[in-house]
Amino acid sequence: MRPRWHTGDPDLCRRVERWLGSDSSEANPEKAELLAQSRYRRSVKLPGTANPRDPLFAKHFLSPASRRLGDRLLERFKAAAGQAAADREWRALAALHRQGMAVPEPLARASLAGREALLVARYVEGRPLLEALGVDPATRRQLLTALGELVARLHALGWTHGDLHAGNILVTGGRPLLVDWQRARRSRSEDRRLVDLGTLEFSLAQAGLSRSDRLRVRMAALGVADPRSPEARRQLRRAGHAAQARASRHYRRRTKRCLRVGEVSARVRSAAGRGLRLRDFPDAAIDEALAAHRAAIAAGGPALLKCDHRSRVSAVRAGGRDLVVKEVIKGGPRKWVADLFRGSPARRAWRGGHGLLVRGIGAALPLAFVERRALGLPVASFAILEDLRPGRPVQELRPDGDAPTAAELVNRLCDLAASLHRHGVIHGDFQALHVYGCEGASGWEMALIDLEGVRFPGRLREGQRIEALAELNASLPDDLISLDERLRGFERYAARLPFEMGADAARVAIARRSLERRHRWRGEGCELGVTIARP
């Protein structure tokens, strides 16, 4: 596999060829260090020969075989048009390095058989961004500002990175440097710049950076000096929406993936029906759980948690785990036809639970779902989930020795509601009965059950948020949480997710809708009017 070099120093090219022709790093005189490898590319570090402190970075772009004709034709078209990943990265590095941008110095480029390619650059010693941020606050702030300024300069030069996340940022000499340019392109489109900023901010949020840290990067990248001006607020808001859109795309893909066989899930092979299961939850455990569920229905008693015309829920033990089996029995031809398009209740619970968990929202873990079909219609389904007990529903968490205080309970509920709404999630039946309080290592945590109504529409309208908050508020008895605590909880929620209609109007709307539901909250001490008066 001899490369066809397009550019590069001959001695350097021979060094790379010796590595490329070696069967293993042990036999390789260059002693290459493998840095990363996937089915699309591998990256290695080649140490310097004459100067050990002058190593090389070599990226080998592979061409994985695809069984899809469309993929193969697309790759051929990209190569013919000079838009292959190696071509894009070389052009970006060469242009940006000439203009003094903080990028690796490109040194050589070659083509290999089978549309594979090589790119060689000077190796950069540095630390990953997230590791470098673990310093004193002042240095951390300087580094984040420098990162935003680097992105601003990149965009001012008419380029976008295309994959600008924290993993593609190194810190060397106390300054950030951008790597991995195979998706870069020349563009002065504001939308493409916002995609860069949204991708970066989402990755920083995933890494746990605070809102103020992320805002510092955003302001520097946009060149905003005074965030109070109308134009600056418009720019900052657009960048924030781009980050939300990037998060929505990420979570949407992860949620769809849970409905496919993959590394995590496998098909259910059971006499009871077909479905999906976690790979560490075998078919034998599913059969055992469903048999125990049938036995609990026949015997009654405490193992049968619910049994009415809508559903049957039992607590069983199978596969060495404490489980809950939920069977939805309310049906009929109209429901069956609807379930043909939206999925059976158990399938929706599987998707809802895993969708919540990938978003970092507490929920009972779905271990499997099984559905039985007749003439293609799902006529029966079973959801098998982890048992959250000894956790208890929120309305049973009366302040005592082994329960949170009213203030702590309100804080946890408001944080749960804000997390749901920030991620664009509708629970479908968001009441205290379906929120379990579980004591963990870091304190009390909230987890959701009754997952078949969970939906992921994306951004929620204010009316949807108000309806969900009213549903939760109406389900909390007056003697569990006082009006004063409810008002403080609303302020906590509104500080995280403000209302365009204004906090006073939203508070009145929530109280009015809560009272209209005529549930557990009677509104003791509450006066409806322009505002809700404190008692």
52 pLDDT exceeds 60?
no
CB of 188 closer than 8 Å to CB of 142 = no
Provide the CATH topology of domain 392-516.
Transferase(Phosphotransferase); domain 1 (1.10.510)
Residue 290 CB contacts under 8 Å (≥ 6 apart), including other chains: 270, 272, 325, 370, 382, 384
Interatomic CA distance for residues 370 and 393, integer angstroms: 26
Does the domain formed by 265-386 have CATH 2.60.40? no
Sheet holding 106-111, edge to edge: 4-7, 106-111, 117-122, 56-61, 41-46, 33-37
Mean pLDDT of 83-93: 88
Residue 46 CB contacts under 8 Å (≥ 6 apart), including other chains: 15, 16, 19, 30, 32, 55, 56, 57, 58, 123
Interatomic CA distance for residues 458 and 440, integer angstroms: 30
pLDDT digits (tens, 9 = 90+) for 234-289: 999 899 889 988 988 899 999 999 999 988 899 998 888 899 999 999 999 999 99
Joined together, the tokens standing for residue 342 give 């939206």
Mean pLDDT of 157-165: 94
Mean pLDDT of 402-412: 86
Mean pLDDT of 357-363: 93
Higher pLDDT, 517 or 39: 517
pLDDT digits (tens, 9 = 90+) for 184-227: 999 989 999 999 999 999 999 988 898 899 999 999 999 988 88
CB of 290 closer than 8 Å to CB of 283 = no
- How, if at all, do strands 311-318 and 265-270 pair? unpaired
370 pLDDT exceeds 60?
yes
Mean pLDDT of 507-514: 92
446 pLDDT exceeds 60?
yes
4-122 CATH: 3.30.200
Phi, psi of 378 (to 5 degrees): -75, 110
Interatomic CA distance for residues 224 and 226, integer angstroms: 6
Element spanning 337, H or E = helix 333-342
pLDDT digits (tens, 9 = 90+) for 58-85: 999 887 665 565 665 666 666 655 668 8
- Predicted confidence at residue 345, as pLDDT, reads 92
Higher pLDDT, 80 or 377: 377
- Predicted confidence at residue 78, as pLDDT, reads 64
- pTM over 0.75? The answer is yes
> Does the fold of domain 265-386 match that of domain 128-257?
no
Joined together, the tokens standing for residue 491 give 């302020």
pLDDT digits (tens, 9 = 90+) for 36-51: 888 888 899 988 665 5
If phi > 0 it is left, if psi is from -120 to 50 it is alpha, else beta; for residue 144 that is alpha
Name the pLDDT band for 534 (thresholds 50, 70, 90): very low
25 pLDDT exceeds 60?
no
26 pLDDT exceeds 50?
no
CATH class of 128-257: mainly alpha
114 pLDDT exceeds 80?
no
Domains of the chain, by residue range, sit at: 4-122, 128-257, 265-386, 392-516
Name the pLDDT band for 404 (thresholds 50, 70, 90): confident
Element spanning 220, H or E = helix 211-222
